[in-house]
Amino acid sequence: MNRRHFIKSSAAASLAFSAYTLPSISVAGKTRPYRTALIGAGWWGTNILREAIAAGESKIVAMCDVDQSQLAKSYAELEKLTSDKPKKYGDFRELLSKEKPEIVIVATPDHWHPLITIAAVQQGAHVYVEKPISHTIYEGRAMVKAARDADRVVQVGTHRRVSPHNVSGMEFLKSGKAGKIGMVRAFVHYGGGPGEVKPDSEAPKGLDWNMWCGPAPLRPYNAAIHPRGFRSFLDYANGQLGDWGIHWLDQILWWTEEKYPKKVFSTGGRAIRQDNTDAPDHQVATYEFEDFTVSWEHRLFAGNNAEKGENVGCYFYGTEGTFHMGWQKGWTFYPTDSKKQIIHQDPQLNQPDDQNIKQLWADFLASIKAKKRSVCDIEIGHRSTNMALLGMLSLKLGRSVIWDGEKEIIVNDPEANKLLSREYRGEWKYPTV
């Protein structure tokens, strides 16, 4: 296919799906902005805060982080955008008690998401919580229960559910244009090497390391963990599958009418990395559904020019062709019939970091006003997180598991079911499920 035909086909696809419009917000009748607080003032939390301010319906009343340097940096960014003067906190419990926010953004490391989200909804706030929602499956179940009991809107930060090209691509898939899909391959591949071992050290001044670890195991401070390295440490996150994997596994659950897999198997390990981290540097997971099979794979080494195209996304393999749902390059459909034209849709992403938080925040506000569940409701985020957590659980066990998604248990496997939760440390109590 020549370039002229590809561009022509791309333009046609853009027109075909231009009817999709993003959620809009009506401010008619609004008397005051929502009292909004940020808990977790790092890089991504600041991205979310920026969009909350831009939407014009929040008064930022408080910011919280156990790392005072991160808090100061985020506060400085906020001062460029608004005249609000939020109070600064190091303990989310004090913030919730004193400020009584109506909206709480939870953008902490993964192991803190459950307790903060549950405390916020019980205090009466609506919550925007980052993905993955939890570190273990039963934590996620408790979060869903808490949101329902409190009748609060809880939006999960899987913003690809509102990205224009993901929405149009999903419409394409659900229309049947790709035919019957029998297999989906999700993947994230990045280059890298063995890395290096960083020695433990004293925590930097202004960082409450004990509070940072919270309910998770307390280990010596290491600069490889914080800031931004925690996802590769299994005490606090679930590696690449728990981080990137949830986005693409969520796309698969969005496409199918099935809510969960029946059987999961994963293998992988650390073939290359020789640093402080303990998450797998490569992993393959398979998910057996009723009508199709999913494979996940990631690799954090061997970046190369042999594998052309985008290094992230999902390939949906159908009887009429192969559909690639990507990120920075949009989506592309490759028909089985070579006489038919390739169809392509470009992305519409926001900066910084090529995301669509703005659109997801708009849906969040609209859902609060309409008293309805949001597009990335906590239960949706729970199921997608479960996909990633089941893959990690199988990897730890070294064998496959049979999943009863309705009861949320692993069938006839007491050893595996122990991994659906974990012990909390110190004063912290595991949430009731």
The residue extents of the domains of the chain are: 34-160, 164-349+383-419
CA angle 15, 18, 21 (to 5 degrees): 175
Residue 309 has a pLDDT of 82
CB atoms within 10 A of CB 19: 8
What would the DSSP string read from start to end of 403-421?
EETTTTEETT-HHHHGGGS
Structure tokens at 91: 């303990």
Torsion, CA 383, CA 388, CA 392, CA 395, rounded to 10: 100
CA angle 158, 159, 164 (to 5 degrees): 140
Instruction: Identify the CATH homologous superfamily for domain 34-160.
Output: NAD(P)-binding Rossmann-like Domain (3.40.50.720)
Q: Whole-angstrom Cα distance, residue 131 to residue 112?
A: 11
Q: Whose CA is closest to 389, among 254, 261, 301, 208?
A: 261
Residue 31 has a pLDDT of 67
Spell out where 320-418 has E strands: 321-325, 331-335, 343-345, 401-404, 409-410
Structure tokens at 246: 């949830």
Query: Is residue 312 within a helix (H) or strand (E), and if so which, with residue range?
Result: strand 312-318
Q: Which CATH architecture has domain 164-349+383-419?
A: 2-Layer Sandwich (3.30)
Q: Whole-angstrom Cα distance, residue 367 to residue 340?
A: 41
Pairing of strands 312-318, 321-325: antiparallel
Q: Whose CA is closest to 88, among 75, 78, 77?
A: 75
Query: In sequence order, which residues have a C-beta less than 8 Å from that of residue 45 and are 6 or more positions away?
Result: 38, 39, 74, 105, 107, 108, 130
Please tell me whether residue 322 adopts helix, strand or coil conformation: strand
Yes or no: say if 318 and 180 are a contact pair by the CB < 8 Å rule: yes
Q: Whole-angstrom Cα distance, residue 324 to residue 307?
A: 14
Burial 268-300, CB ≥16 within 10 A → b, else e:
beeebbebbbebbbbbbbbbebeebebebbbbb
DSSP state for residue 244 in the 8-state scheme: I
Amino acid at 431: P
Yes or no: say if 298 and 241 are a contact pair by the CB < 8 Å rule: yes
Residue 308 has a pLDDT of 78
Alpha helices in 80-190, H assignment, sequence order: 92-99, 113-123, 137-150, 164-174
Q: Whole-angstrom Cα distance, residue 34 to residue 123?
A: 15
φ, ψ of residue 379 in degrees (nearest 5):
-70, -35
Structure tokens at 90: 């190091």
Please tell me whether residue 369 adopts helix, strand or coil conformation: helix
C-alpha of 304 from chain center = 27
Residue 30 has a pLDDT of 52
Query: In sequence order, which residues have a C-beta less than 8 Å from that of residue 111 and are 6 or more positions away?
Result: 135, 214, 215, 216, 235, 236, 237
pLDDT in tens, the chain (433 residues): 333 333 333 334 333 333 333 333 344 455 699 999 999 999 999 999 999 999 999 999 999 999 999 999 999 999 999 999 999 999 999 999 999 999 999 999 999 999 999 999 999 999 999 999 999 999 999 999 999 999 999 999 999 999 999 999 999 999 999 999 999 999 999 999 999 999 999 999 999 999 999 999 999 999 999 999 999 999 999 999 999 999 999 999 999 999 999 999 999 999 999 999 999 999 999 999 999 999 999 999 999 888 878 899 999 999 999 999 999 999 999 999 999 999 999 999 999 999 999 999 999 999 999 999 999 999 999 999 999 999 999 999 999 999 999 999 999 999 999 999 999 999 999 998 7
Q: Whole-angstrom Cα distance, residue 246 to residue 378?
A: 13
Yes or no: say if 355 and 47 are a contact pair by the CB < 8 Å rule: yes
Length of the chain: 433
Strand-pair partners of 181? 318
Q: Whole-angstrom Cα distance, residue 314 to residue 294?
A: 10
Q: Do domains 34-160 and 164-349+383-419 have the same CATH topology?
A: no
Residue 11 has a pLDDT of 37
Structure tokens at 249: 């596994």
